[in-house]
Chains A and B, each alone.
Chain A
């Protein structure tokens, strides 16, 4: 449909197209057959990758599943098989369930806000002609900041003694107490996480927008006068593959990659501050030395993420149209 070189978003969309075919059982027609002269050769090429997956994913996963059924002294002197005790303990504990609820809420809010704002900025930046490069560079540069540093910068703004946001809130009569008040901390966490993720979404949306063919846009211009209509009917469907890809990435981001930001905000002492499930696994396992309990939590997390991914591909991805 286009003769421009393959953009990033399209490269990803072909990946998803392949996954979709695999899911629905369609077979793709191979473009050309590559034959190795020795049957072992392809395995040799695969070996490093398989080794990495086995060592860094399968092996630890198996370990986590095993130790989740045991109650163990931290130094490994004796492990007692306790069946599903660690799971029931986690799932019935007040702390775990409220963390789970916050994680779900956090996921929805951060994903929605960072996707929405990323898209808005991309659409606006796409229209800018003068100084376009400067705008883009300024918007993208945040992406180069490492998450812990982003957390630190954010906390300077929210610091309860001298943060500018605390002062601004005080003008409006709100005593902003990040680190003490649950929802104040949650707000800080969301603002910093969204701010950190917007540039990533921006890059992808922008490249997605730029791959919408000029001919299609011009044709649309004749059909509809309203910019909003054109955006909804033409641009948005064409952006759908990019948006779907970003949705998956953003959910993973909020669930896992916000860890350093939380770590910086709660400063080693979570107290009653909100946190995500991953942070709780770390706290109970590495700080509390409760290996069985934290293994059970990480297995629960693995199952949740797997389910979420399957659901996304099964229901959402079917509605996405790949050009």
Chain B
């Protein structure tokens, strides 16, 4: 229904604009309120100028958007702009001929482009090894720790900065009658961002940036396994609740006031404001004090926009114009306010501050501040092919860990083995 509605809106948008304009299309994987915001942004762009007419089309989920983009490209029917999520970035970046690098597109159209205008945390994730932007960062988020203020008052504890502090306060929250913590999507929280927050190498070849040939995943190490040994021990002592791989199943106990903490996306807070009838706040996602050099910024999650290749120049000029429009402080602030995703430029962040937005909504600032923390050698990003499949392997093994079917040691050996097999397979396909 959402899809039908957004298509209807998109059609309405097309109809209302003058026919002389160049039409460009934008396929995305957002639904619900976030999908409506995309239509609003497109409308703002169409009203702001009269040479281009942008039509956004929802293609289902992130994965479905990527698959339909690929299928369309193969039959020469690709859209001008395709939204691709973090885990799918390697797939589209590896296929060099499928996209026009965002930076080339913008400078080629004679517009300004300044890498340093972007906040540090988003600069590298969708860029090549030299820092050139291939994808245009769009909706960006960070994993943060939400907590129920009432629960913390009842237990008389402070929100944890580190996992060591978590171990101290969790039993008190349990005594106060709460499940101390739940977390959605362990792959994103406890592997990818375990690596970034603790400044740990994630893959050989400079986290995969230096080429697909010979890239191997690094997850079978003591620190990574320690994180899961701890999680499993916490789960056994009822200090952590594991509810499977589904996002919402792990969020639910927090929304219902049963869990005191939940690790989720900075982009979740808009939804939480509606679903939670208690006071909540958020802090950075914890790191390990015992790991040297930990406490660095997290990877950005979310998705980026890619300009698809094979389009006429006048359409590419419009795409470039839209990318510039999208990064303007006003658009970014509007998007930040409407969805909870972080602003991606320093200027937009300053604008939000000067408008007093964070005085009203302090939670909205946590994600961006975490992305602006000091960067480490390994917190810039990672690039691994077939990564969505590697995530599925991890999800499978994590479920097995928490249902006592496999030990943490064994699980990570399997993830390493199957992950490396997938990476090797991808290296063979990438040209």
Which residues from chain A sit less than 8 Å from chain B, CB to CB?
71-78, 80, 89, 95, 160-161, 177, 179-182, 267-273, 283-284, 286-290, 293
- B66 located at the interface, meaning its Cβ lies under 8 Å from any Cβ of chain A in the complex: yes
From residue A108, how far is it (CB to closest CB) to chain B in Å? 24
B265-305 contact mask (Cβ, 8 Å, vs A): 1 or 0: 00000000000000000000000000000000000000000
Q: A73-B429, A287-B388 are in contact. List 9 more A-B contacts (CB 8 A).
A: A74-B70, A179-B244, A179-B246, A179-B249, A182-B405, A270-B395, A272-B403, A287-B63, A290-B386
In the complex, which of the residues B256, B389, B403, B431 contacts A77, with contact meaning CB atoms closer than 8 Å? B431
Binds A, one of B7-15, B89-97, B168-176, B369-377: B89-97
CB neighbours (8 Å) of A293 from chain B are 425
Q: Is the Cβ of B74 less than 8 Å from the Cβ of A76?
A: yes
> What separation, in Å, do the CA atoms of A287 and B392 have in the docked complex?
10
- B430 located at the interface, meaning its Cβ lies under 8 Å from any Cβ of chain A in the complex: yes
> What separation, in Å, do the CA atoms of A207 and B418 have in the docked complex?
52
- B402 located at the interface, meaning its Cβ lies under 8 Å from any Cβ of chain A in the complex: yes
CB neighbours (8 Å) of A181 from chain B are 403
- B67 located at the interface, meaning its Cβ lies under 8 Å from any Cβ of chain A in the complex: yes
Q: Is the Cβ of B95 less than 8 Å from the Cβ of A283?
A: no
Q: Is the Cβ of A160 less than 8 Å from the Cβ of B74?
A: no
A75-B97, A77-B431 known; A287 and B397 CB under 8 Å?
Answer: no
A75-B73, A272-B400, A273-B399 known; A290 and B425 CB under 8 Å?
Answer: yes
B350-394 contact mask (Cβ, 8 Å, vs A): 1 or 0: 000000000000000000000000000000000000101100100
Q: Is the Cβ of A271 less than 8 Å from the Cβ of B244?
A: yes
A75-B97, A160-B244, A179-B245 known; A272 and B91 CB under 8 Å?
Answer: no
CB neighbours (8 Å) of A273 from chain B are 399
In the complex, which of the residues A182, A269, A289 contacts B403, with contact meaning CB atoms closer than 8 Å? A182
From residue A304, how far is it (CB to closest CB) to chain B in Å? 23
Q: Is the Cβ of A78 less than 8 Å from the Cβ of B70?
A: no
Q: Is the Cβ of B429 less than 8 Å from the Cβ of A72?
A: yes
Q: Which residue of A lies closest to B66 (CB)?
A: A289
Q: Is the Cβ of B388 less than 8 Å from the Cβ of A288?
A: yes
- B242 located at the interface, meaning its Cβ lies under 8 Å from any Cβ of chain A in the complex: yes
> What separation, in Å, do the CA atoms of A293 and B429 have in the docked complex?
12
Q: Which residue of A lies closest to B403 (CB)?
A: A181
CB neighbours (8 Å) of B74 from chain A are 75-76
CB neighbours (8 Å) of A290 from chain B are 386, 389, 425
Q: Is the Cβ of A270 less than 8 Å from the Cβ of B66?
A: no
Q: Is the Cβ of B246 less than 8 Å from the Cβ of A289?
A: no
Interface hub of A73, A89, A293 (most chain B Cβ within 10 A): A73
> What separation, in Å, do the CA atoms of A284 and B392 have in the docked complex?
10
In the complex, which of the residues B66, B95, B402 contacts A180, with contact meaning CB atoms closer than 8 Å? B402
- B202 located at the interface, meaning its Cβ lies under 8 Å from any Cβ of chain A in the complex: no
In the complex, which of the residues A71, A80, A272, A284 contacts B389, with contact meaning CB atoms closer than 8 Å? A284
From residue A189, how far is it (CB to closest CB) to chain B in Å? 15
- B338 located at the interface, meaning its Cβ lies under 8 Å from any Cβ of chain A in the complex: no
Which residues from 49 to 75 on chain B have a C-beta closer than 8 Å to any C-beta of chain A?
61, 63-64, 66-67, 70, 73-74
A269-B395, A270-B392, A271-B398 known; A73 and B67 CB under 8 Å?
Answer: no
CB neighbours (8 Å) of A180 from chain B are 242-244, 399, 402-403
